[in-house]
């Protein structure tokens, strides 16, 4: 009997110590880590204020790369939501939701999971730093309340490891991900990029290349356009849109590209099924001109007015937009030259830009 009484007293002492120590432990924990990138601040904010690339940088990634994600709500900003699920006990199930933003400088997430605590939030702050403020410091912070949950307070002793280590790993992944994004600020485009469907077309295409000098490029474009117009006339065709330039290789010294025109048989009514054209070419026509029938696809598009020399930078902006929004682009972007070649080499140029998306199964 005495042994049992001693055991009960010892257990009571342990419980008292557990309670007293637990009550002395903090009821709130805060963990914070920084990293830095040289990508434009608006681009970093766009990537982090939505969940299109969350699986590529999330703190959960290091715990279980096979975690599945389901996005809902708006693409970016308040209300953007992601549910996640994993067979790993380290991850389990849960969700993140953007509950607020401040300019391009702060994003607050509500975190819902099975870990101890309540009012769990992840906050990301962005600050311009470095030479001429061209770099961005990214600080990720985690906050949790345990209240009078003593088990939670004890778990808080290890939060710098249980939550902090995945956070640090996630920031490393984020830095690597941002390094793949072209260092261009696509928010400077006058018209925000968007994804549009592109129908199947019949194209006459004239590949060529030239030195990267305006006069050489313009001459090559006009020469190839003449071949296209010649084939159109001889075959009783009509152009259905403006001249199109597809970039194949924009090198340091040379520019390899294709000049093309969408065409149809003269008199073909709009909306008719796209027929395969019987295009006949003789002599040098067959040397310079090709006939292609494209398949329906989708593309990122925007517009630009000005000299065509700026198109190369704008293409990089489209590529940066795609990388930020989790979209894979194909190899060859193109632009339509609404005012023709001569005007496009002046400030009066008028272009619609397209970058086709990578198709399933393509390399």
Strands (DSSP E) contained in 55-193 are 68-72, 81-85, 93-102, 106-112, 118-129, 135-145
Going by pLDDT thresholds of 50, 70 and 90, the confidence category of residue 161 is: confident
| pLDDT digit string, tens, across residues 34-45 | 999 999 999 999
**pLDDT tens-digit readout, 38-75:** 999 999 999 999 999 999 999 998 899 999 999 999 99
Question: Using the 8-state DSSP alphabet, how is residue 131 labeled?
Answer: G
Q: Is 80 exceeded by the pLDDT of residue 120?
A: yes
- 363, pLDDT greater than 60: no
Q: Is the pLDDT of residue 165 over 50?
A: yes
Q: Which is more confident, 64 or 270?
A: 64
Q: pLDDT (tens digit, 9 = 90+) per residue, 86-96?
A: 999 889 999 99
Q: What is the pLDDT of residue 159?
A: 86
Residue 360 has what pLDDT?
Answer: 65
What's the pTM?
Answer: 0.87
How much is the pLDDT for 18? 47
Copy the structure tokens of residue 57.
């940088």
Residues with Cβ within 8 Å of 136's Cβ and at least 6 positions away in sequence, in order, are 36, 37, 38, 39, 40, 41, 44, 126, 127, 128, 129
Report the distance separating Cα 249 and Cα 66, nearest Å. Answer: 37
Measured CA to CA, the distance from residue 340 to residue 331 in angstroms comes to 24
| H or E element that contains 13 | helix 2-24
pLDDT digits (tens, 9 = 90+) for 207-265: 999 999 999 999 999 999 999 999 999 999 999 999 999 999 999 899 999 999 999 98
Q: Whose CA is closest to 182, among 40, 69, 354, 23?
A: 40
Which tokens sit at 257? 């590209």
Mean per-residue pLDDT for 117-131?
A: 93
Res 12: pLDDT: 56
Share of the chain above pLDDT 90, in %: 75
Q: What's the average model confidence in pLDDT over 7-14? A: 58
Which of 209, 191, 196, 174 has the alpha carbon at shortest distance from 297?
196
Residue 11: predicted pLDDT = 65
Task: Give the contacts of 16 (CB within 8 A, at least 6 positions apart).
Answer: none
Phi, psi of 282 (to 5 degrees): -125, 150
Residue 118 pLDDT > 70, yes or no?
yes
Q: How much is the average pLDDT of 329-341?
A: 95
Question: For residues 294 and 203, is the Cβ–Cβ distance under 8 A?
Answer: yes
Average pLDDT in the chain: 90
User: Between 16 and 334, where is the model more confident?
Assistant: 334
- For the cut 60, the answer to whether the pLDDT of residue 20 exceeds it is no
């Amino acid at each position: 009997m005495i042994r049992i009484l001693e055991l009960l007293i010892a257990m009571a002492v342990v419980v008292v110590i557990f309670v007293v120590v637990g009550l002395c432990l903090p009821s709130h924990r805060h963990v914070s880590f920084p990293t830095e990138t040289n990508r434009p601040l608006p681009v970093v904010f766009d990537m982090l204020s939505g969940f299109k690339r969350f699986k590529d940088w999330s703190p959960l990634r290091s715990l279980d790369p096979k975690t599945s994600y389901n996005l809902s709500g708006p693409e970016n900003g308040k209300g953007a939501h992601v549910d996640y699920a994993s067979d790993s006990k380290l991850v389990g199930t849960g969700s993140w939701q953007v509950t607020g933003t401040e300019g391009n400088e702060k994003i607050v997430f509500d975190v819902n999971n099975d870990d101890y605590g309540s009012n769990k939030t992840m906050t990301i702050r962005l600050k311009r730093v470095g030479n001429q403020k061209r770099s961005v410091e990214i600080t990720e912070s985690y906050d949790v309340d345990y209240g009078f949950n003593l088990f939670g307070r004890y778990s808080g002793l290890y939060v710098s490891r249980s939550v902090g280590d995945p956070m640090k790993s996630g920031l490393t992944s984020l830095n690597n991900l941002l390094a793949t994004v072209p260092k261009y600020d696509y928010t400077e485009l006058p018209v925000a990029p968007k994804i549009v469907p592109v129908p199947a077309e019949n194209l006459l295409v004239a590949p060529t290349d030239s030195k990267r000098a305006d006069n050489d490029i313009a001459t090559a474009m006009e020469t190839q356009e003449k071949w296209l117009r010649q084939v159109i006339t001889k075959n009783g065709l009509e152009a259905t849109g403006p001249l199109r330039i597809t970039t194949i290789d924009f090198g340091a010294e040379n520019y390899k590209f294709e000049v093309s025109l969408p065409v149809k048989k003269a008199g073909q009514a709009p909306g008719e099924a796209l027929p395969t054209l019987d295009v006949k070419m003789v002599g040098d026509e067959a040397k310079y001109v090709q006939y292609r029938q494209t398949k329906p696809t989708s593309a990122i598009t925007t517009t630009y007015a000005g000299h065509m020399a700026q198109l190369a930078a704008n293409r990089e902006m489209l590529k940066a937009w795609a990388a930020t929004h989790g979209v894979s682009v194909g190899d060859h972007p193109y632009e339509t030259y609404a005012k023709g070649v001569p005007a496009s080499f002046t400030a009066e140029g008028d272009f619609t830009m397209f970058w086709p998306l990578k198709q399933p199964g393509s390399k």
